[in-house]
A = this chain, B = another copy of it.
Amino acid sequence: MAPRVNPILEALSTRYKTLKKLTALDAKSPEVAEMIAHFTSAALDFLSSCQRIPLVSRVPEKTYFSFAKAGKKPKLSRAVNDNLFDADSAKRNLDNLLEGTLDRIQLPERTRLLYTIAISYCCAADLLKTGDQKTPATFFECLIGHFFARAFGVNHRTQVDVLQLEDENTTLPTDFIYDLGPAKPKFHVPVKTSTRERVIQVFAHQRVLDGVHGFGKFKGILVCLAETKLDHTSREVVEICVPRQWNLYYRFIAVMHRFYYFDVPKKYEALTTGDPPMAVVPFATFFDEVKDLAAGH
């Protein structure tokens, strides 16, 4: 098929600032859901006109491909998990995003839907933008910001008060913070498209919150898209994982309550039966357990 640049999507790739602003204003609002659905539809339309280039997967039991605009030297999108990407299902179920009824979809299909929403915009941005890694990260933050705010019924903050003996106000800049109210659970939610070796920051921020406010006051929940890395020359896909470091960080820096992934890395999945066990699960399960989380479990 001949390459076809979607002019709508090129506009969208600049409109992400509006999405960012709306999310900061009221992440749980229907306007944010609509904009995410709109972005996803446009991205899927654009991607349907792209080629799918098979990749050499170095990850056991996983198959990956890249989207590419046709041409002599096709530019590749990030790696897409073949088993999780499902454009038809995403288009069919996008209304559940708007209506906030994602929990009604069966877990396997919900996992594919969420992955497809998250990765489509990122891939479209990979192909249409040059050298701007901020756009996909911002979209991903808005997406997670919306899901959490809508599920918990409160918007996020991005700083925490730090108690002081002396009379000075100190605040700690953080990722998303959800405070469900007095004597109710509070959550510290770092959001990353990938963590790699930077994951130590996540544990360290949790450690500061534990130190400042006491253990268990803020529960740490990491939300991450994937840990894949694509070598654009050899077209090999690997997952960059440091499970032994995770074990050390968990034992010696801070305990994290959940690690949600849209594409759960094999080596981190194994940590669920490690010592101590760490809760590394597909993000789709969030919608099943959000009531338990809100109840402090």
Contact of A204 (CB < 8 Å), options: B166, B170, B207, B275: B207
With beta carbons under 8 angstroms apart, the residue of B170, B210, B253 that contacts A208 is B253
How far apart are the CA atoms of A274 and B63 in the complex, in Å? 54
Size of the A side of the interface (Cβ < 8 Å), in residues, is 25
Complex partner residue of A207 from B162, B245, B253, CB under 8 angstroms = B253
Is residue A8 contacting chain B, with contact meaning CB distance below 8 A?
Answer: no
Residues of chain B with a CB closer than 8 A to A270's CB: none
**A interface, by DSSP: helix, strand, loop or mixed?**
helix
- Interface code A195-209, partner B: CB below 8 Å = 1, 0 otherwise? 000101101110110
Tell me which of B166, B207, B245 contacts A172 (CB under 8 A): B245
Per-position contact with B for A172-188: 1 when CB-CB < 8 Å, else 0? Answer: 11000000000000000
A202 vs chain B, min Cβ distance (A): 10
9 chain-A/chain-B pairs, Cβ below 8 angstroms = A170-B247, A170-B248, A173-B245, A200-B201, A204-B207, A210-B252, A211-B253, A212-B248, A253-B253
